[in-house]
Amino acid sequence: MITVSAPGKLMLMGEHAVVYGYPCIVTAVSERLTVAMEETNSGKIVVEAPQVKNTRFVDQAIIEGCKAWGIQHTGLLLQTKSNFSNCYGFGSSSAVTVATLFALVRLFEKNVDKKELFEIAYKTVLAIQGVGSGFDVAAAIYGETLLYGNAGQIMNPLPWKLEDDGVTLVVGYSGMKADTPVLVKEVAQKREKEPEKVNRIFEAIGKLVLQAREQGDAHDWHAFGKFMNFNQEYLRDLGVSTEKLEAMIFAANKAGAYGAKLSGAGGGDCIIALVPKEKQESVENAIIKAGGSVVPVATSVAGVEITNEKEDNEMLIVVNDKDEVVSYRSRFDCHHDASLRHRIVAVILFDDKHRVLLQKRSFTKAKHPGLWAVTASGHVSKGEKYEEAAARELKEEMGVTVPLTFVKTYIEKPDEESEMVAAYTGLTSEEIHPNAEEVSEALFVTKDELLRSMLSGKIQLTPCAYQALQEIQFL
């Protein structure tokens, strides 16, 4: 079983013009859609999606994914869950498409990069929806904030963190659901009738997007807001704004927003307002007074990733430099804050020929799928001792229990984390039973064999495994 989640999106600038090849700016938002997938023996594909109106996108994603990557299965069970309502226009269709395809890739251990994932996801969305620039698919895959254009030819991450600059994006929902494909088609008809006028509008929007991007890069959000307002004027000229949206936008600007506009196809859904932090409350109140409701979201969040909600809520032990307990925090917090140094264990088993037992991490792992790690490793949970966690991880991952010897503790700093590692070694003559959910292969190697395999690229160690083998003086 694998669980993955993909974020929704909000268009910051450039909607409609982006359908015609111009660039837009899109940000991934904290509302996420989750897909849990497992292979069954039923011979059928069962989709349980209580919050989704219909499962067309999931069904099509499975067809396209299996075809593109030669996946043959004996039956699939899928469950989807979202923490956002699909009526806001946050892109639940593209998020569910991306999450389904990513789950397929990882469950069936396919070597697919994000670009290829994008191609198949975009193809899936077009097969169902007929139209669309693909900006929502890009946001679901890459996350963050992106300059996107030309059906995916342009995809530049914009390292903006609004909160760090004292600004925030306020989202106001109009209460009306927009029909994006219908609106895109209406704009296309308008363009056929008045090509010169509409093309001029698209060109102007394209230019505004690039100018706004420069302001964003310069952290000048006041100026960025002005460009949002100009963008809104063009959207009004295109005929996609509504009275309600206009009222909310006017109210937000009057209450102190740097700028505000509709976001997405128009005709309903949401407005966004770029707001200095100190004006947030008054802008939110103004939007509510104008008949909208405020939807709290964070922007620039991570793209599609493997998640395990149960594990994410597990409490880990946070320690200081001297390994003294400071607090208990969730796995999720510990993995996203390098100041929360938490306890983990690394277990390294040898056989009587002094060969070390390594494991290849399964492709369903969130971190370093397919890379090689020490025999077993994992977090120490609240209430657990190092030696208990070491024995538990060894049993869970390798199916064996052997006497373990404590070697040392040391600090490691993978990615955005910081960990206090207790290393244990042991000798095994028993048969091992690797847990297929976590381990895709297990191997005993001598030091020379390992070094040769690393040089030839046959074995790529995770940074933590490399450090562990050095700490116990095997490498």
SS (H, E, C) 296-353: CCCECCECCEECCHHHHCCEEEEECCCCCEEEEEEHHHHHCCCCCCEEEEEEEEECCC
Q: Does 191 bind ligand PMV (CB under 6 A)?
A: no
Decide: 132 and 160 in contact? Cβ < 8 Å.
no
Distance between CA 329 and CA 27 in Å, rounded? 28
CB of 231 to ligand PMV, least distance (A): 12
Query: 137 or 347: whose CB is closer to ligand PMV?
Result: 137
98, 117, 140, 178: residue in contact with ligand PMV (rule CB under 6 A): 178
Residue 99: both structure tokens together: 């999450």
Task: Tell whether residue 228 is a contact of ligand PMV (CB under 6 A).
Answer: no
Nearer CB in complex with ligand PMV: 198/344: 198
Using rule CB under 6 A, residue 15 touches ligand PMV: yes
Residue 180 makes contact with ligand PMV by CB under 6 A:
yes
For position 261 contacting ligand PMV by CB under 6 A, the verdict is: no
Is residue 370 packed enough to be buried (19+ CB in 10 Å), middle (13-18) or exposed (0-12)? middle
Q: How many residues bind ligand PMV (CB under 6 A)?
A: 17
Q: In sequence order, what are the beta bridge partners of 394?
A: none
> Quick check: 265 binds ligand PMV (CB under 6 A)?
yes
28 binds ligand PMV (CB under 6 A): no
CA dihedral (278, 280, 282, 286) in degrees, to 10, reads: 160
Compute the Cα dihedral for 52, 7, 83, 133 and give only its sign.
negative
How far is 393 from 269, CA to CA, in rounded Å? 48
- Quick one: 208 or 357, whose CB is closer to ligand PMV? 208
Per CB under 6 A, the list member of 36, 95, 184, 391 interacting with ligand PMV is 184
DSSP track, 259-277: EEEEESS-SSSEEEEEEEG
User: Would you say 272 or 318 has its CB closer to ligand PMV?
Assistant: 272
- Residue of 2, 4, 19, 104 interacting with ligand PMV (CB under 6 A): 19
3-state secondary structure of 126: helix
| 136 catalytically annotated | yes
Please identify, among the stretches 129-137, 212-220, 308-316, 434-442, the one whose residues bind ligand PMV according to the rule CB under 6 A. 129-137
- Report, in Å, the least distance between residue 136 CB and ligand PMV: 6
Nearer to ligand PMV, 12 or 356 (CB): 12
Give yes or no for residue 135 binding ligand PMV (CB under 6 A).
yes
**Residue 18 in contact with ligand PMV, rule: CB under 6 A:** yes
Touching ligand PMV, residues 294-333 (CB under 6 A): none
Catalytic residue among 136, 217, 351, 352: 136
Tracing tokens 């793209």 back to the chain, one arrives at 303
| Closest separation in Å from C-beta 124 to ligand PMV | 14
Q: Rounded to 5 degrees, what are φ and ψ at 254? A: -65, -30
Output the CA angle 312-313-319, nearest 5 degrees. Answer: 90
User: Considering the rule CB under 6 A, would residue 167 count as an interface residue with ligand PMV?
Assistant: no
Which of these ranges, 16-24, 156-164, 309-317, 341-349, lies near ligand PMV under the rule CB under 6 A?
16-24
CA atoms lying within 13 Å on the CB side of residue 90 = 27
Nearer to ligand PMV, 266 or 303 (CB): 266
- Cα–Cα distance measured from residue 251 to residue 174, given in angstroms and rounded to the nearest whole number: 13
| Contact present, 273 and 202 (Cβ < 8 Å) | no
Find the helix packing angle between 221-238 and 195-217, rounded to 10°: 170
Q: φ, ψ for residue 409 (rounded to 5)? A: -110, 150
Q: How far is the CB of 212 from ligand PMV (least distance, A)?
A: 16
Q: Does 6 bind ligand PMV (CB under 6 A)?
A: no
Q: How far is the CB of 24 from ligand PMV (least distance, A)?
A: 7
Bridge partner list, 84: none
Question: Could you tell me which stretch among 127-135, 304-312, 325-333, 440-448 binds ligand PMV (CB under 6 A)?
Answer: 127-135
238 counts as binding ligand PMV under rule CB under 6 A: no
Give the CB-nearest residue to ligand PMV: 264
| Least distance in angstroms from the C-beta of 184 to ligand PMV | 5
How many residues belong to the chain?
475
Known catalytic residues are 136
Where does this chain bind ligand PMV (CB under 6 A)? Answer: 11, 15-16, 18-19, 89, 91, 132-133, 135-136, 178, 180, 184, 264-265, 269
